[in-house]
Structure 1
């Protein structure tokens, strides 16, 4: 799945899509390498097998090669979320994208950054035989936009989030890297037009055949019941993590052997990080050794 990166929370909101379709357990995200060092969260992401890139193509290409090999050998369904823009729309990313557009005689986008194509073309071309499709996700916020986790913690939530999903079967995708790069750039032009239309009208415009399919789905599925199931799942997930955090904090404060366990695990993680490049690199090395 590829998507526009409006805020730093887009990937978290996309969990709702994966939850609705029962695919969250296979979800993996491509992140910038600096996030690997975020306490606790970075370790969890490594344990979940998320991909981290350094934006240095020589290094990233070697790492992606190992990732692709591991993903194919694992036999698990591949569900990757990639933000080709490489940064969200806030901050310096927009200025850099506009400068790149001017230098290369490209249109200046209002709602997007120009996509980086190297990672996308490499992943699609090397995972081609193990992918069913490429899903193009467009996310839009018609009311308030929440930019960061800090705002979430302060109680500010987006009132509405709209997703537009378009499925591209692999049989329709180009095979050549240059053609894939051109495809992504063209897709981003359409995405900019789609977002401009959305912010004018307040909703995504669907082709006639898609509207007909949506009506048939609504007739065949009890949407209210489905929403209730999804809300229950999300509620129990949130409840679990709140209770788990409270219980863990209490155990650390009151039990000496839990404190020692946390200290030893933290030291082990630091050693793995320093000598092997992190938990994920250790997993890739063990997988490579096992298949040698």
Structure 2
């Protein structure tokens, strides 16, 4: 997916809610977000992939996490932003410098993708028999563009969000890493042109020649999920504050949980790393057991 704003990943939930299963999604995102109280802790529990955005440091972590996903055989939707960051004047200037240095086209609506991590992920999941398709997603905002969380806090929610989604089955993907890098770069060339037509034209994506659209869940079902979620989290939040105010043992329980979450991240790096270490330990014990049996 292209990374127009810092909030793209959250807006995509609306699309997944209608066409997929939101609970299956994992996100590849910068490691500093894992320390956000509550929200970052939840992402650790969900085993999101946190990266430093330095390939020498991230490669081994990618390898371990992807192997973990392949081992547990759970359905997986992994959201990645090959551009590495959202589109701003500063990041576009750096992307243009990269384009000049490498004799590439300068982009106005996207950044040049970083293909090293992308190709590594595809190869690793394909080798682990845990990749059925890549969904190439282009997101666009025809009216207001909330660039950061601050815009949402001020009530500047996007009035419309448009998604262009194209599915590439694994059989249609190139085999070699070099061809896969070119394939990714080609998708971004298409995104640039698609977004140029979008923003300079009638501000909707051309649906000509589109493939069969998967069935959309009914708006009634979507509305029920939204209402139930809103009701649950509103009541949960109110109940939490009431219990914290009324009972000292609840305050102690809350404080202990906060200490545990902060301490485990300081000591071990995050809950997802603890789960990964537990899984690797169990797998090594199983391998030893199998060797003894043989």
Name the residue aligned to 1:124: 122
Match of 2:261 among 269, 278, 288: 269
Separation of aligned partners in 1, 2:234 and 2:105: 46
Name the residue aligned to 1:206: 207
Separation of aligned partners in 2, 1:126 and 1:22: 23
Name the residue aligned to 1:172: 172
SS of residue in 1 equivalent to 2:171: helix
How many pairs were matched up? 281
Deviation, 1:209, is 5.2
Separation of aligned partners in 2, 1:281 and 1:209: 41
SS of residue in 1 equivalent to 2:218: helix
Once superposed, what is the RMSD of the aligned Cα atoms? Answer: 1.7
Q: Which runs of 5+ in 2 are unaligned?
A: 285-294
Deviation, 1:75, is 1.3
Deviation, 1:14, is 0.7
Deviation, 1:7, is 0.6
Deviation, 1:6, is 0.6
Name the residue aligned to 1:150: 150
Name the residue aligned to 1:60: 58
1:226 corresponds to 2:253 = no
Separation of aligned partners in 2, 1:69 and 1:193: 36
The farther-off stretch of 86-95 and 184-193 is 86-95
Compute the TM-score of the two structures, normalised by the length of structure 1.
Answer: 0.91
Separation of aligned partners in 1, 2:89 and 2:280: 39
Name the residue aligned to 2:141: 141
1:252 corresponds to 2:244 = yes
SS of residue in 2 equivalent to 1:165: strand
Name the residue aligned to 2:277: 285
Alignment of 1:28-67 (within 5 A): 28-67=26-65
Name the residue aligned to 2:292: none
SS of residue in 2 equivalent to 1:52: strand
Name the residue aligned to 2:288: none
Name the residue aligned to 2:290: none
Contact 2:73/2:130, CA 8 A, preserved across alignment: no
SS of residue in 1 equivalent to 2:195: helix
